[in-house]
Each structure stands twice: as structure tokens, then as C-alpha cells.
Amino acid sequence: MSLNGKVALVTGGAQGIGRAVVHSLLQSSVKVTMVDLNKTCGEECKAQLDAEFGEGNCNFIACDVSDGEALRDAFQSTVNMFGQLDIVINNAGINNEKNWEKTIQVNLTSVIKGTYLAMEHMSKEYGKKGGIIINVSSMAAFLHSPHQPVYTATKHGVIGFTRAMAVRHTHRTLHASSSTDSCSIFRGTHTSLRFNS
């Protein structure tokens, strides 16, 4: 799939891996919405990216991905601004073993919600052109870190969910891949769903 002219939404897009992904997508002529909880960081990142790539190529939406309605609004705002959605990267994540329920909401529940929202906006099943979903996991899914059991469980969950979705949608030309450090912009593991486009 050629990336030129495509539109992407990246959660956790204003810092870390997400920011590197956003930068790489912009270098490939993709229009990008960064979704991030940190408003200050997001606005600073957008200003820097606007200076480098020109205004109108990057959008920032302050959003807590654990808030399902706010996440839904971020998807719709992206389509309203850019007219389409082709790539979704569910990257947002936290590591807080004390507030483990929030860790589950951000690391796993928002990935599930983001995947279903992506399908609504991209799947041929919904009359769309198709697209790609990448759900970012972590090496913790394979290393079984005893000091972060909830984080580890959420990252196992991301891989299991994505693989199950890929099998479930095989007849709809939905494909999955899983790899470790397969792309220079990812430091961990990602699993992806792809709709033929």
C-alpha cells in the first residue's frame, strides 16, 4: 500500500515510540492525527512538526484513550478534518501497577475499542476502502516481568486479541502479522491487522 496521501491516527502519538511513528509517517507524506493525554507535550510536538512538514499535515487531539466516547470523537474528528482514515496505530500505554485498573483500560481496553473504531471507519464491511491497524505491544508480553504483572498481562492481551481478530476476519481479507522489532520506529512488538485496499 502506497502511503502517499493516506491518513493515520496514532494514539500516544506525542511522545516516545508514538512520536517517532508520527514523524516517520509524515516523512512518507501521510497526514496524521496524534492522540495523546499530555496536552502540553502534544501542542509542542504539533508546532515542531508543523514547522518541519507544513501546517495542515498534522493534527493533535488531547484525549484520554480510556474514555471510550472521547476516543470515538477523536476518530470522527480525524475523518472530519482529513476526509478519510487509512491507518490506525493503537500505541498509547502506561505502566502503573498501583493503579492497575487504569493500566488495563489504557493498555488493553483502549486497543480493543480503537480496533473496533478503526474497523468502522476503514473496513469494507462498513462500506469503506480498507486500511491497516497496528496494535503495539511490548517485549514484556514474552519476558513475563515479575515486577509488572498487570502490564505484562495487558501486553499479552494485545497480541492475543489482535491474532484472534485476524483469524476471525480472514474471510474478509483481513491479515495479521506479528513481529519483534521489525521496524526501526518500533522498539517492541507490534501485531497488525490489514484490510485489502
| Measured distance CA(132)–CA(154) in Å, rounded | 22
Q: Does 151 qualify as catalytic in the annotation?
A: yes
CB-count burial class (<10 Å; 0-12, 13-18, 19+) for 36:
buried
Q: Which amino acid is at 47?
A: A
- Contact between 44 and 70 (Cβ < 8 Å): no
How far, CA to CA in Å, does 62 sit from each of 48, 131, 149? 16, 24, 29
- Helix (H, G, I), strand (E, B), or coil: what is residue 104? helix
What's the length of the chain? 197
- Helix (H, G, I), strand (E, B), or coil: what is residue 175? strand
- Contact between 30 and 85 (Cβ < 8 Å): no
Of 173, 172, 18, 4, nearest to 93 (Cα)? 18
Task: Determine which one of 151, 165, 190, 192 is catalytic.
Answer: 151
Residues identified as active-site:
151
